[in-house]
Structure 1
Amino acid sequence: MKILRTLNSENLQRPVSRLRPGSDAKKVFQGEIFSVYQWQQKLFTGEFATFEMLRRADTVTILPVTTTGKIILTDQEQPGYPAFLDLPGGVLDSGETPLAAAQRELAEEVGLLSDDWSLWFVEQASGKIDWANFIFVARQCRFAAQQRPDAGEKIQVLEKDWSAFEAVLRSEKFRNRGVALQYLRMSPAEQANFRQELFA
């Protein structure tokens, strides 16, 4: 069974939030990243309670595979966080498509370019936050761009073979739980198919 998906409008559709706000939902706070919405939700008893949800800009994550068959990770520091391991990624700019954001973030964070892109999966990362994350695979990556991390990022680029990358997926230091869960809950046969597609 094929794991990676071709890039088309159907596959790149944004998934809806798990929590559906009521028709009377109102924005009660606008922060730098999050918007807070509240509405009156009817309960099973017939009573009403105030429900809340957050909204934020969507993001992209990229699993890069180089021309030499290495997986690229980032060892990052950001203000207020302990150091962590992750895949390249970031926030979609206003009006930007998920693929364009992924290509931009791959170049900015780790200096990589690729002409071979597939979609792995799309998730709503939280039950209380309307926030979609598009996870791409970029194959045949080459170091050809100037690394330009944001002012709030210190990024060291790591190259790992597959067995070392699998160990990182199981590490507490790896921040992207959605990616780890997506791979680790595959059957052994699905994992083998996935690796074959990555390195084809």
Structure 2
Amino acid sequence: MSTGDIRQREPIYQGKVIEVAVETVELPDGQAVALEMVHHPGGAAAVALDEHERVCLLRQYRHAARGWIWELPAGRLDAGETPLVTARRELAEEAGLIATEWLDLGALHSSPGIFDEVIYLWLGRNLSEQPTAHESGEVIEIHWMPLRQALDWCNDGTITDSKTLVGLYRAGAYLNAQAEMRSEDPGC
């Protein structure tokens, strides 16, 4: 048996979105341990930036967070859906936006100690509006702010959602790198 193989699996709960199981696995040091695991299909999030480098953020009520939090438009991957398709769908449904330019900002593991969810991050630009299509149970406000202000909120603790923190930081780093390349190019 190779490291990480599941020796035993005891399903505990199967919901609409997640599955919970106790899995006995072998660690790299040869130790066999029973781990409580939450399985999730994964998700995608969109950093939507307009031509003025304002970012679209959602202020959304989250019961698990015990209140309102700031987030990027994001959602769960549907069966057979690619992360980019999910990012496009969620941006349209939650923020009422369509982006025609997309850049892959990589992925993140939201809580790898117990949760196998991977969230894929995308930068969407060249935006146009359409009606939102919020799902039942979604309580969402749509806000626009300068990316610089959103990054300040990442640094001061106003934004606490991990996908939003990572997405904004990566988008900011990408834009900074693009600005540096333009400033170093004598043809610009």
Q: Same fold (TM over 0.5)?
A: yes
1:132 aligned residue: 118
* 2:103 is equivalent to residue 118 of structure 1: yes
Whole-Å separation in 1 of the counterparts to 2:29 and 2:128: 59
Whole-Å separation in 2 of the counterparts to 1:45 and 1:88: 40
Tell me the CA shift for residue 40 of structure 1.
2.9
Of 80, 91, 105 in structure 2, the residue corresponding to residue 106 of structure 1 is 91
Structure 2 contact 110–162 (Cα < 8 Å) conserved: no
Tell me the CA shift for residue 33 of structure 1.
2.8
* 2:61 is equivalent to residue 77 of structure 1: yes
2:176 aligned residue: 192
Gaps of 5+ in 2: 182-188
Q: Number of aligned pairs?
A: 177
Aligned identity (percent) is 21
Gaps of 5+ in 1: 1-18
Whole-Å separation in 2 of the counterparts to 1:45 and 1:193: 40
* 2:48 is equivalent to residue 64 of structure 1: yes
Query: Aligned letter for 2:91?
Result: L
1:24 alignment partner, SS class: strand
- For residues 14-46 of structure 1, the C-alpha deviation after alignment (integer angstroms, 9 at most, x for no partner) is xxxxx9452433433212332122233457997
Whole-Å separation in 1 of the counterparts to 2:4 and 2:28: 16
Query: Aligned letter for 2:70?
Result: L
2:81 aligned residue: 96
Query: Aligned letter for 1:147?
Result: T
1:116 alignment partner, SS class: strand
Query: Aligned letter for 1:30?
Result: Q
Whole-Å separation in 1 of the counterparts to 2:17 and 2:180: 38
Whole-Å separation in 2 of the counterparts to 1:162 and 1:36: 37
2:186 aligned residue: none
Of 28, 34, 45 in structure 1, the residue corresponding to residue 12 of structure 2 is 28
2:22 alignment partner, SS class: strand
Task: Map 1:39-54 to 2 at 5 A.
Answer: 39-41=23-25, 48-54=32-38
Which protein is richer in strand relative to its size?
2
Tell me the CA shift for residue 97 of structure 1.
1.4
**TM-score after normalising by structure 2:** 0.78
Structure 2 contact 59–70 (Cα < 8 Å) conserved: yes
Tell me the CA shift for residue 120 of structure 1.
0.3
Structure 1 contact 74–85 (Cα < 8 Å) conserved: yes
Tell me the CA shift for residue 92 of structure 1.
1.3
Of 119, 123, 137 in structure 2, the residue corresponding to residue 152 of structure 1 is 137
* 2:151 is equivalent to residue 166 of structure 1: yes
Shift in CA distance, 69/185, structure 1 to aligned 2, threshold 3 Å: closer
Segment drifting more, 109-118 vs 171-180: 171-180
1:84 alignment partner, SS class: strand
Which protein is richer in helix relative to its size?
2
